[in-house]
Amino acid sequence: MSKKHFIALADVIKREQTQNTRFSAVQLETLAGFCASQNHRFNRQRWLDYIAGNCGPNGGKVKGAAQ
């Protein structure tokens, strides 16, 4: 898998999560472990931060976020 695949997967997760339906931390860690097994350059923490809305897909600031 490549970076674009990891971003696409995170986008699906972000889009499908609602207040009533959320992936658990264990589920996200399991997915992150799978992603890491597919590409040794996978950055687990950046991916999880992106899903949580703490950064953009490349690890930078979120567009439109207050500074």
Q: pTM for this structure?
A: 0.84
Domain edges within the chain: 3-18+25-52
Query: Residue 29 has what pLDDT?
Result: 97
What tens digit of pLDDT does each residue of 6-64 get? 999 999 999 988 878 889 999 999 999 999 999 999 999 999 999 999 999 888 887 76
Task: Give the Cα separation of 38 and 49 in Å (integer).
Answer: 19
End-to-end CA, the chain: 33
Write down how long the chain is. 67
Burial class (CB in 10 A: 0-12, 13-18, 19+), 50: buried
CB under 8 Å to 36, separation ≥6 — which residues? 42, 44
